[in-house]
Structure 1
Amino acid sequence: MATADVTVMGGGIFGLAIGWECARRGARVVLCEAERIGAGPSGGLVGALAPHVPEQWNAKKAFQFESLVMAEEFWAGVREASGRDPGYARTGRLQPLADAAAVALARGRETGAEALWRGLARWRVVEAPGDGWAPESPTGLCIEDTLTARLHPRDAGAALAAAIRMRGGVVEEGRAEPPAGVLGQRRSPGALIWATGVAGLAALSADLGRQVGSGVKGQSARLACEAQARPQIFADGLHIVPHHDGTVAVGSTAEREFDAPDTTDGQIEVLIERARALCPSLRDAPVIERWAGVRPRARSLAPMLGEWPGRAGHFIANGGFKIGFGMAPKVAEVLADLVLEGRDAIPAGFRVEDSL
């Protein structure tokens, strides 16, 4: 295997995005995935790239905002390099408003969005469309935001892997250990980035002697429905996400305790029925897939980025949980800055030590 400037362990969204960004900048990249691209939660169904509410601004919300703003250019670059469509589109999102208190709160956030989102996207209260797609709103009003986007998880992963290869990088599936000759096994230049999800959180916890994160199970479903240009819906804690391939994803659960990590159960059936009740267009749409998987959640609730304590040349990129796809462009940028240029732009709250 070729000598690498950067070796990435893990073929989920963080590992692939970092590998692509480093390759795009001219680094020699080797990416190793223990099973296959999309084997873990990054091969799920939902793909909602949705912002936090524009108030009580903090480093996490600012980082996510910057990532969502840069996403269009990032994914366009992946598409051009790979010749594959990652399914990205900034189609916005609707959220019905249940009562007068919810309307007042949403209107207050309009002002916050004008300042915090710097005119790059809108958050506003509008009349509910009443077109059979969005849920009926008790107030006749809903929140419309134009920052929310969608991405097809599996197509995005395949496109990133292809883009890395097109830039001369190596993507090897079925390899759980770094290739011989990279940092950590023999003396060699380069960086070793661990983006290994739930297994990586367990390994880091064992190495540091304390729990830095855990896995949270999620279940979701995919229905056949031609709604490619429709906005996403977020209602009653449920995401409804139209995709470019004529499907709509609905999800997801958040289960801290579970026995069967990759098995769906009655909770997904409840989710599907809720989605049908909320969205008239889905009432007769056939279910074509049910999915379950375990997502990595850091103790800090933010992505965990930076050097592995006590291991020179080793770096961590983990803890994407529900927002990994939305955070990926910015995560890739700051990790590439760190390992290729020695420039540390990781915000407060995102460092490995913040989860200790």
Structure 2
Amino acid sequence: MATAETASYDLAISGAGIFGLSVAYAAIKAGLSVVVLEKAHVGAGSSGGVLGALMPHMPARWNPKKEFQFQALACLEDRVRRLEAETGHDCGYARCGRILPLTTTDKLEHHLERAQESKLRWHPEKTGFSYVVEPVGSRSDWLSANAAPHGIVYESLAARISPRAYLAALAGYFRGHGTLVEGAEVTGFDADTSSVILGNGRSPIKAKGLVVSGGFAAFDLIEHLTGERIGRGEKGQALLLEGTGLEDHPAIYCDGLYVVPHANGTVAIGSTSDRDFEDDTPSPERSGELMARAMNFCPQLKGRKVLSDWAGIRPRCNKRDPLIGRLPGHEAVFAATGGFKISFGIAHLVADALIAEILGRDADHPLPETFRPDHHFGRNRLDADT
């Protein structure tokens, strides 16, 4: 029987996070033979978090990125239900909706305008997704009325998912249809021999192409391959609380934090974003800050037991948007990284579009130009967003 070292694949993927496993799933569905090479283990990076907030951009100043994300969020439930049927795994998905507090008259007026624009952008008559300004005191059994002196926004496009359960379902499907090798660090690609180079003296893997999708560490490999540094890591931190009785509440976004109830009787709180960090371990001080801030606007969290804390380094491209597509100077090396806070909501459509590109086909939902390599490399890289 062939092993990973002796077999030959159509595609190798570096990284078993949400982008890497979604690309692997799409590649298998397209009929490709695939190997996923993961430096540590499935979900070892920022994809292994606890928050699971699938939140849309605001329906204002509409652009191709927001349209792409809207389409991704709109079809994600169908994708998840198909994966659950294929694997028997429950991904913890629900269209939970989201509450946003209105703290000033300016914000009230601004969101009234957004509510009007949502009718044009979200097509509520067809999709059922609404963005509505509700009066003072609305939903105060969940969000403190004191935190919303000018009312709230309630929008129904937002959803939640269990990041770890979703990854487990994708990995479970892939293990049955492809080859997953954990503890294998990708360090390069030899185009002459169509070989993926591995660290620690491991034998190369034969593959016609490589997708670099290893979280923030992917930026090191991309720099090695292209000579350009196009992204960085930012540390995020979150908490998981006991949440019995809160399962059916919507998510809240307030004071820069999300509170997301999950179907398994937990509530996730997060997450922070720190450019300067020393490691990827949770900070007790940060955890205390998260809890205090969340209880301030969500009193039902008081007295809830903290089940676990989490921290991880998320990949953020200098140009903010993800990097998806063929790397400059390489015919057979592609990237899918830098999703930062929106990865779980768009990964399935990103994967579809990338596999379509690899196969020379048109994608059903083309990638925004700001996701493409031309936006991230060369002269455009020098005009990095901050």
Same fold (TM over 0.5): yes
1:134 aligns to 2:143 (yes or no): yes
Residues 105 and 150, structure 2, Cα contact 8 Å, conserved in 1: no
What is residue 248 of structure 1 aligned with on the other side? Answer: 267
Find the aligned partners of 1:52 and 1:326 in 2 and give their Cα distance: 11
Match of 1:274 among 293, 310, 313: 293
Q: What does 1:3-42 align with in structure 2 at a 5 Å threshold?
A: 3-42=8-47
Question: Is the deviation greater in 172-181 or in 248-257?
Answer: 172-181
Amino acid at match of 1:122: S
After superposition, the Cα gap between the structure-2 partners of 1:76 and 1:174, relative to the gap in structure 1 and judged at 3 Å, is same
After superposition, the Cα gap between the structure-2 partners of 1:153 and 1:107, relative to the gap in structure 1 and judged at 3 Å, is same
Question: Is the deviation greater in 126-135 or in 109-118?
Answer: 126-135
Residues 260 and 267, structure 2, Cα contact 8 Å, conserved in 1: yes
Amino acid at match of 2:50: L
Residues 262 and 294, structure 1, Cα contact 8 Å, conserved in 2: no
What is residue 384 of structure 2 aligned with on the other side? Answer: none
What is residue 157 of structure 1 aligned with on the other side? Answer: 167
The count of corresponding residues between Structure 1 and Structure 2 is 355
1:176 aligns to 2:195 (yes or no): no
After superposition, the Cα gap between the structure-2 partners of 1:111 and 1:172, relative to the gap in structure 1 and judged at 3 Å, is same
Find the aligned partners of 2:139 and 2:361 in 1 and give their Cα distance: 52
Deviation readout 1:286-334 (Å, 9 max, x if unpaired)? 1011111110000111110000111221100000111111111211111
What is residue 341 of structure 2 aligned with on the other side? Answer: 322
1:198 aligns to 2:216 (yes or no): yes
After superposition, the Cα gap between the structure-2 partners of 1:277 and 1:22, relative to the gap in structure 1 and judged at 3 Å, is same
1:123 aligns to 2:131 (yes or no): yes
Find the aligned partners of 1:241 and 1:213 in 2 and give their Cα distance: 28
Find the aligned partners of 1:343 and 1:138 in 2 and give their Cα distance: 46
Q: Following TM superposition, by how much is the alpha carbon of 1:341 offset from its aligned partner in structure 2, in angstroms?
A: 3.9
Give RMSD over aligned pairs: 2.1
TM-score by length of 2: 0.87
Residues 68 and 367, structure 2, Cα contact 8 Å, conserved in 1: no
What is residue 49 of structure 2 aligned with on the other side? Answer: 44
Amino acid at match of 1:11: A
After superposition, the Cα gap between the structure-2 partners of 1:188 and 1:140, relative to the gap in structure 1 and judged at 3 Å, is same
Structure 2 gap segments, 5+ residues each: 198-203, 378-386
What is residue 106 of structure 1 aligned with on the other side? Answer: 111
What is residue 74 of structure 2 aligned with on the other side? Answer: 69
TM-score by length of 1: 0.94
What is residue 370 of structure 2 aligned with on the other side? Answer: 349
Amino acid at match of 2:369: A
Q: Following TM superposition, by how much is the alpha carbon of 1:183 offset from its aligned partner in structure 2, in angstroms?
A: 4.4
Amino acid at match of 2:229: Q
After superposition, the Cα gap between the structure-2 partners of 1:316 and 1:188, relative to the gap in structure 1 and judged at 3 Å, is same
Bigger Cα Rg: 2
Amino acid at match of 1:100: T
% same residue: 34
After superposition, the Cα gap between the structure-2 partners of 1:270 and 1:340, relative to the gap in structure 1 and judged at 3 Å, is same
What is residue 91 of structure 1 aligned with on the other side? Answer: 96
Find the aligned partners of 1:139 and 1:260 in 2 and give their Cα distance: 39
Match of 1:58 among 59, 63, 80: 63
Find the aligned partners of 1:239 and 1:296 in 2 and give their Cα distance: 19
